[in-house]
Amino acid sequence: MKNISGGVCAPKGFLAHGVHCGIRKNTSKNDLSLIMSEQPCSAAAVYTTNLVKGAPLTVTKAHIADGCAQAVICNSGNANTCNADGIEIAEAMSALTAKELDLKPDDIVVASTGVIGQPLSVEPIAAALPALAAGLNPDGSHEAALGIMTTDTIAKEVAVEFTLSGKACRIGGIAKGSGMIHPNMATMLVFLTTDVAITPAMLQKALSGDIQNTFNMISIDGDTSTNDMVTLLANGMAGNAEITDDNEDFAIFMKAINTVTVGLCRMIAGDGEGATRLLECCVSGAADEATAKTVAKSVICSSLLKAAMFGADANWGRVLCAIGYSGADVDVNKIDVSFQSAKGEILVCKDGAGVDFSEELAKEILLEKEIEILVSLNSGSASATAWGCDLTYDYVKINGDYRT
């Protein structure tokens, strides 16, 4: 498994581009992105479980019900949610894109991100589509990644290369996500592409299985968005033997997906609104995987723990507190907690009780950009990892006037 550049354009046959069409007031920022495959694709997706869903999700779900798609159109700056004409607008975006690319509207994945409940005009999108489509190119992933950002401070792109049936294969992805992130069945907006040949059914199985241990294990602020969606397109242009069942090639494919999605998870968590630190909670020694996940997610969701990490305060009691109310069946008298970063590791709790440790060293460790919270439950062999960020003054500043 080799990390490569190229994002969603790394796999064979994928092109992308992004432009400013006028939805966002800042003319220096892209707000419309397009991804297209030169060949029809198997398609899979997962969606937010929030009962309030953006119209694009409803439209996309209908479009890929047959397991096929060939392009993705996404705007930022307006989530197209809670609008009376939301479905009409999403269908219009699909139709306009399909016409420009000489495809069928049902082969278009449509997505939106930004402010909820704000009317969205299709006119700027229609006006920009000819130039957007004309600009599609095999090096366009970065422009597309920029076009789906809202409060993100960095573009998020990952790609890997691997081998199936003696053929070089690739998976790439771009994501947006900075706030309103507490997913359940999907997260933020993530667009994945691959040149692997795989049936729609197996593609959906791969995506649905992966997100349980990746995107579903992120929390920035405890809010589940209305527009969260992860899509995966596979055009088969790598020429591998088509994956039709749960075989060795499928296992390798799953590992490749996981490498890309974990990379995107870390980028999303580290770029949380106002964040100064990426937090990674690694739970080991759990009786079962469900327990490990529950504990890891509870720790990473704790506002008090997140605030302590912002202050580089080794307040390990907040870790135990979060474990205690998580609902997981654990023996609190067996729990060990350590903090780790590039500056080293320090044990702060042993068998559920505090131990002597250097506050100075702990502070040095916690001042790093990436912090690992290591929790050992000492009750089994299962493990899990969750990702989040610290809670800062800037989070409130950003969301205090997000709409205006």
pLDDT tens by residue, 228-244: 789 999 999 999 999 99
pLDDT at 295 over 50: yes
Q: Please give the Cα distance from 280 to 385 (Å, whole number).
A: 7
Q: Please give the Cα distance from 379 to 361 (Å, whole number).
A: 29
CA-nearest of 97, 37, 101, 93 to 70 is 37
CATH of residue 167's domain is 3.60.70.12
Q: Given 270, 303, 318, which residue is the final one in a domain?
A: 270
pLDDT digits (tens, 9 = 90+) for 244-288: 999 999 999 999 999 999 999 889 888 877 788 999 999 999 999
pLDDT at 180 over 50: no
User: Taking each helix axis from N to C terminus, what angle separates 86-101 and 123-134, rounded to the nearest 10 degrees?
Assistant: 30
Q: Please give the Cα distance from 161 to 76 (Å, whole number).
A: 29
Q: Please give the Cα distance from 112 to 33 (Å, whole number).
A: 10
Is residue 62 a contact partner of residue 91, using CB atoms and an 8 Å limit? Answer: no
Q: If you average pLDDT over every residue of the chain, what do you get?
A: 92
Confidence at residue 158, expressed as pLDDT on a 0 to 100 scale: 98
Confidence at residue 221, expressed as pLDDT on a 0 to 100 scale: 56
The full 3-state SS of 285-304, as one line of letters, equals: EECCHHHHHHHHHHHHHCHH
Q: Given 270, 286, 321, which residue is the final one in a domain?
A: 270
Is residue 151 part of the annotated active site? The answer reads: no
Within this chain, do residues 26 and 137 fall inside the same structural domain, yes or no? Answer: yes
Q: Left (φ > 0), alpha (ψ -120 to 50) or beta: where does 82 sit?
A: left
pLDDT digits (tens, 9 = 90+) for 351-377: 999 999 999 999 999 999 999 999 999
- Check 60, 81, 97, 187 and give the catalytic one: 187
CA-nearest of 108, 47, 118 to 77 is 118
Within this chain, do residues 32 and 156 fall inside the same structural domain, yes or no? Answer: yes
Within this chain, do residues 262 and 302 fall inside the same structural domain, yes or no? Answer: no
Within this chain, do residues 73 and 195 fall inside the same structural domain, yes or no? Answer: yes
pLDDT above 70 as % of the chain: 93
pLDDT at 215 over 90: no
Q: Which residues are registered as beta bridge partners of 168?
A: 163
Q: Given 270, 303, 328, which residue is the final one in a domain?
A: 270
Within this chain, do residues 99 and 217 fall inside the same structural domain, yes or no? Answer: yes
Confidence at residue 404, expressed as pLDDT on a 0 to 100 scale: 61
Q: Write out the residue range of the structural domain in which residue 88 sits.
A: 2-270
CATH of residue 354's domain is 3.10.20.340
Confidence at residue 185, expressed as pLDDT on a 0 to 100 scale: 36
Within this chain, do residues 236 and 137 fall inside the same structural domain, yes or no? Answer: yes
pLDDT at 402 over 70: no
Within this chain, do residues 87 and 178 fall inside the same structural domain, yes or no? Answer: yes
What are the counts of helices (DSSP H) followed by strands (DSSP E) for the chain? 11, 15
- Number of structural domains, the chain? 2
Q: Which residues are registered as beta bridge partners of 198?
A: 243
pTM of the full predicted structure? Answer: 0.83
Confidence at residue 225, expressed as pLDDT on a 0 to 100 scale: 53
- Which residues have a Cβ under 8 Å from the Cβ of 92 and sit 6 or more positions away? 122, 126
pLDDT digits (tens, 9 = 90+) for 68-125: 999 999 999 988 888 889 999 999 999 999 999 999 999 999 999 888 888 899 999 9
Within this chain, do residues 11 and 160 fall inside the same structural domain, yes or no? Answer: yes
Q: Please give the Cα distance from 97 to 228 (Å, whole number).
A: 21
How many Cβ atoms are within 10 Å of 398's Cβ, its own excluded? Answer: 15
pLDDT at 227 over 80: no
